[in-house]
């Protein structure tokens, strides 16, 4: 089951999966409490097994109404079992309902195939994030369900 969680609930998996066991205080993102942002968690029973943070941020080359995915992490014991995909698909449904134009991320190179299976496309050459590793910018365009502005 996917549901909204707090920024603090994302920290243990961010530390474990994305920051090589760094103290949780060093895994906080500046956007964690940004207006319009959300934190999602996918649960296996009562256990939180996958997390992601999503917040409004336009990609510099893709126009307005963008959201950025950051801090996507799945417990290695549950990797490859569909929990991460459930979480991303839930996020896509939520953003589509909110009339977001697209979702983008800096995807680790090792995770590019995961994002491609979920409809994301690469929009950059591979680049290095110092201390973290190789990444690609990836994007998924979203279908607007209705025009709330008219």
Would you state the pLDDT for residue 90? 97
Please give the pLDDT value at position 19.
Answer: 87
Q: Which residues contact 66 (CB under 8 A, 6 or more apart)?
A: 56, 57, 58, 59, 100, 101, 102, 103, 104
pLDDT in tens, the chain (150 residues): 999 999 999 999 999 998 888 889 889 999 999 999 999 999 999 999 999 999 999 999 999 999 999 999 999 999 899 999 999 999 999 999 999 999 999 999 999 999 999 999 999 999 999 888 999 999 999 986 555 443
Distance CA 4, CA 83 (A): 15
In the chain, where the domains are located: 2-141
- Give the pLDDT of residue 37: 93
pTM of the full structure: 0.90
Q: Nearest 5°: phi and psi at 87?
A: -65, -45
Measured CA to CA, the distance from residue 3 to residue 25 in angstroms comes to 23
Residue with tokens 């090792």: 110
What is the topology classification, in CATH, of domain 2-141?
A: Aminopeptidase (3.40.630)
Residue 21 CB neighbour total at 10 angstroms: 9
**Alpha carbon 49 to chain centroid, angstroms:** 14
Residue 20, pLDDT score? 83
């Amino acid at each position: 089951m996917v549901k909204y969680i707090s920024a603090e609930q994302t920290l243990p998996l961010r530390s474990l999966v994305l920051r090589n066991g760094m103290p949780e205080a060093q895994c906080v993102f500046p956007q964690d409490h940004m207006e319009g942002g959300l934190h999602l968690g996918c649960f296996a029973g009562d256990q939180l097994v996958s997390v992601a943070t999503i917040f409004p941020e336009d990609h510099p080359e893709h126009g307005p109404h963008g959201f950025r995915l950051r801090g996507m992490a799945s417990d290695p014991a549950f990797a490859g079992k569909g929990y991460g995909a459930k979480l991303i698909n839930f996020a896509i449904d939520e953003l589509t309902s909110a009339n977001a134009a697209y979702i983008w991320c800096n995807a680790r190179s090792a995770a590019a195939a995961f994002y491609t299976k979920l409809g994301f496309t690469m929009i950059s050459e591979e680049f290095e994030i110092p201390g973290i590793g190789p990444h690609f910018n990836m994007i998924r365009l979203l279908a607007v369900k209705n025009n709330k502005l008219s």
